[in-house]
Structure 1
Amino acid sequence: MQISSTDRAILATVQENSRISNRELAARVGLAESTTHERVRRLVEAGVISRFTADIDPAALGRPMQALIAVQLRPQSAEVVTKFLDAVVDDPCVLDATVLSGETDVLIRVAVASSEALRTFAWQKITSVPSVRSIQTHIVYEHRRGSTVTTADPSD
């Protein structure tokens, strides 16, 4: 799918606020409402926009502590990684999990109520998976989110 500069403006605006009304979006990008609605529909159908979501502060829900847990798995295989992810990502404290190359196979970002809750998750949930070789836990002091994807033209 060809992404125009107008599509990029739509994407940047929707990333900033996915609840923006079509009327407001059309005004910001300088298009008619019907055209804007059609372009958003097309971006969704093409998979460029995969979902609309809310950014929720875990601390507001009683989970003020965040950590990154680096996990090494053995043996290394797609099946082992899939089984590991299936075993841990459905836990409510998991914000996201990323499969990596290098020494760390999976990086898990969690939000928990306390250091005790973090220890319980790490020791009881993660290390209970037989393929886990080692874990390394890093406390997050501050987390800032940029835009999820740059909307700049990659040819610039």
Structure 2
Amino acid sequence: MELPPVDRTILVALQQNSRITNRELASRVGLAESTTHERVRRLVDAGVVTRFTADLDPGALGRPMQALIAVQLRPQSAEVVTRFLDAVVGDPCVLDATVLSGETDVQIRVAVASSEALRRFAWQKVTSVPSVRSIQTHIVYEHRRGPGLAETGD
């Protein structure tokens, strides 16, 4: 979807702070408040903005350790992947899960309180799903977010 530059500027501001006031947003993009409000509403209605959220620091919430768990499933099918995701994504330590191509079928990013909590999740939750063939766990040393989709223009 091709967006005008002003909408991209709005999206950049919303990615930086989804709680920005409409007044401040209008000032930043150089439009009237009513016009800015309408543009944001259209971006939401079009499905460009899917939700407004708070970015939380897992460490500040007692979960300083993050890990990526690469999961291989067998047999490979959409139904198996869906059942696996349904079994694990609801766990509070799961930050996100991504379905991939290649050797790894699903990658789960988790935030946990300790290595023991990570072991418990991996062994008791992930490997208890019958379709799991293997897992490989990687400790995250550092996590940074990119600028976001709105800034790239691609």
> What does the per-residue CA deviation read over 1:70-99, in whole Å, with 9 as the maximum and x for residues that have no partner?
000000000000000000000000000000
Instruction: Kindly provide the amino acid, as one letter, of the partner of residue 111 in structure 1.
Output: A
Say if 2:11 and 2:150, in contact at 8 Å, map to a contact too: no
Other-structure match for 2:137: 137
Other-structure match for 1:40: 40
Q: Which runs of 5+ in 1 are unaligned?
A: none
Other-structure match for 1:94: 94
Alignment of 1:1-150 (within 5 A): 2-150=2-150
| Alpha-carbon shift at residue 150 of structure 1 (Å) | 3.8
Cα RMSD after superposing both structures: 0.9
Q: Which runs of 5+ in 2 are unaligned?
A: none
> What does the per-residue CA deviation read over 1:13-53, in whole Å, with 9 as the maximum and x for residues that have no partner?
11011000000000000000000000000000000000000
Runs of 4 or more consecutive aligned structure 1 residues displaced over 4 Å after TM superposition: none
| Alpha-carbon shift at residue 102 of structure 1 (Å) | 0.1
Query: How many residues were matched structurally?
Result: 154
Distance 1:2 1:148 in 2: 16
| Alpha-carbon shift at residue 149 of structure 1 (Å) | 1.7
TM-score normalised per structure 2: 0.97
Local SS of the residue matching 1:151:
helix
| Alpha-carbon shift at residue 153 of structure 1 (Å) | 2.7
Distance 2:71 2:2 in 1: 38
TM-score normalised per structure 1: 0.96
Say if 1:8 and 1:152, in contact at 8 Å, map to a contact too: no
Q: Sequence identity, in percent?
A: 81
Distance 1:58 1:150 in 2: 25
| Alpha-carbon shift at residue 145 of structure 1 (Å) | 1.1
